Structure 1
């Protein structure tokens, strides 16, 4: 599909386009609520005066984002139901937010971003497939008066993991098929978050039909081997509490998996995502660069080169579009100021310096105003991140003084020139 890159657009029209970015889809721009997935009732909303840019940027590159915008609307329509109580409710008894549909809206938006298909992902069809999975369990259910809750859950897991063949993917979460619900339903291999979501949907349907007669909970594994399993909550131990997945945390986990998988800078897994991007932008102290391996240096340079040219040979090298969309949805969903910072560094790599500075400024304001909640840390990583933020702000201010916002120093083409396979 042919597209018009940002560098070929007239400067004035290019940046006037970005002045109209919407924080939420148009029909939700003023009413889409800020939904928090952290504890506490007096949480400040963040970035309500900031605007997103991804969809408008793709439109400016000649790519139709109607399906992506519709999917984002669907996502917003679901998370606005995520009240303070609902966000801390277990996924097994969640009622107000349709987690399966919300996960499919996430998949539908990203599918539209990378496939440029004229046909949207059939969300309703996959919702029906998820419901059919619960229906398929019924023939395997053999009620018995002496059947214990443990045997009941064992029969569900035998149905899910043996009869249906669902399995946990390898520890490498960079495989896209494991991170999107429609792909997991099709290929039956998924991340712990996706398997937990499917398990919870089965439990909710069985409860709706009156077949689940006890308080069941799902044990979410934090290791790299086990699959989610059910247990009788009345017989749970205190240590099990850390393995209960709430509705809000599940959505954050899904989006964080996508953000990590498609982050364009994978050269140093000992660093945070922000520091990896800051290294690629030379916004950190390079005095310790000589201590890095040749493969890390080559990988960092290769990531920089790929982004400058707008080329991905494989999704394992990252995807700016999907990492941006994950960041935008995380900002909608959480009040973590680090999401503003991470989004900002991606905007910088896109050559959108004014928008990058706007988000960095908001990040610092929110961080400074939350000192009573956020305790300062003297860790080496935190200090390195703070230094990188200061250096990036200084650089952005210099760009503004030297050339203004009217012309990026490097034209980024990777938002519109790619149509990568899943």
Structure 2
């Protein structure tokens, strides 16, 4: 037994206690540095944080309590604010600037408060404890001898995670619980990016406790069926680069998965969320999207889907099984804007604001997007840009109408009865 990595029970307990202290130390001033990785395009277009994010204010104006949602959003902002430009680009196994697990749990906490209307917040700290307990259990049951090579150590960790604990990948669109860290920890079923996050958190805890003495990288698969796994960093290959998650990219992937899953317009253009919503925006008055080739033209099914989505939103059904959720789609867009990812997030947020009747804010975000695109030195989709211009022109016409009543539209959108 003397050859095992695991120390005595009391020393093991002390080390894991110290790992929890390490988690708390992530909030110390040493790590509290400003996030400085704003994209050049957004920086050139102006400070998007000067524009307001409307979700919480809009819900409160309709009489919906957003205290818990605001608190979770503020915690998210604080964690993101601890990412330096360097931290944002480091792999998730060595990130120190922000607690990625807590950040993901604050995302889940905000969405939970938006859909449950609960007076009790999501117990973030309890789920952080669950993460620590995973590492504790691994050490008590699967920790290999100290002289074991890295391949054996990581093989034992894979066996513990995927066989003993039974974590597995789930198709995101079939079960949205796979998109939230607390649900993945509870159901042991989740998206690839969240499995990578849990895997990395176990590795970080094991390193802090002194059980991991070699550098590890996480291979995050880009397909829909492989499992994230660890490998010794010295055996890194250039072909692995697309499969390695940085700290910022992990958060972006979590939020984009949420945006895609809860986008209120689930049918139409296969990959472009904006075009689906832009088509639905003008469907009753003739398509705002024109000029498509016959091979890409919308059929009867897509037209009916767009019309149905418009009808749901028009009578206030802002969440529906398998047909998206306007609140969570807006929340995902707003958090992506806070992360300063890319100009297209501004455009996608703007088209959702259009459907919410927030025409002034929609116009502001469309202008910000267009300014960012002008400064971006990259190939643009002419069809998408033409659609943006047509949507902006329509918003300007609406704002010019004397009979437009901002307050009435805002209240009628959120005050309708919920579909359950």
Give me the TM-score of the superposition, normalised by structure 2.
0.85
Change (3 A) 1:100 1:417: farther
* Alpha-carbon distance in 1 for matches of 2:277, 2:318: 17
Deviations, residues 75-120 of structure 1 (Å, cap 9, x unaligned) = 0110001110000011011112100000000000000011111111
8 Å contact kept, 1:168–1:227: yes
Question: Cα distance, 1:256 vs. partner?
Answer: 0.4
Change (3 A) 1:76 1:312: closer
Whether 1:301 and 2:307 are equivalent positions in the alignment is: yes
Aligned to 1:53: 54
8 Å contact kept, 1:37–1:88: no
Question: Cα distance, 1:358 vs. partner?
Answer: 0.9
Change (3 A) 1:44 1:341: closer
* Alpha-carbon distance in 2 for matches of 1:89, 1:106: 21
* Alpha-carbon distance in 2 for matches of 1:409, 1:417: 12
Whether 1:256 and 2:259 are equivalent positions in the alignment is: no
Whether 1:240 and 2:240 are equivalent positions in the alignment is: yes
Aligned to 2:86: 85
Aligned to 2:395: 396
State which drifts further: 235-244 or 55-64: 235-244
Aligned to 1:180: 180
From 280, 284, 287, give the equivalent of 2:288: 284
Deviations, residues 148-207 of structure 1 (Å, cap 9, x unaligned) = 11111011111111111100002x435220000000011110001110000000000000
Structure 2 matches for 1:218-367, cutoff 5 A? 218-282=218-282, 284-286=288-290, 291-311=297-317, 314-367=320-373
Give me the TM-score of the superposition, normalised by structure 1.
0.84
Gaps of 5+ in 1: 1-30
8 Å contact kept, 1:35–1:332: no
Aligned to 1:27: none
Aligned to 1:62: 63
* Alpha-carbon distance in 1 for matches of 2:170, 2:386: 37
Structure 2 matches for 1:185-200, cutoff 5 A? 185-200=185-200
Question: How many pairs are equivalent?
Answer: 382
Question: Cα distance, 1:405 vs. partner?
Answer: 5.5
**Aligned with 2:398: secondary structure?**
helix
State which drifts further: 247-256 or 385-394: 385-394
Aligned to 1:13: none
8 Å contact kept, 2:317–2:418: no
* Alpha-carbon distance in 2 for matches of 1:352, 1:164: 46
**Aligned with 2:218: secondary structure?**
strand
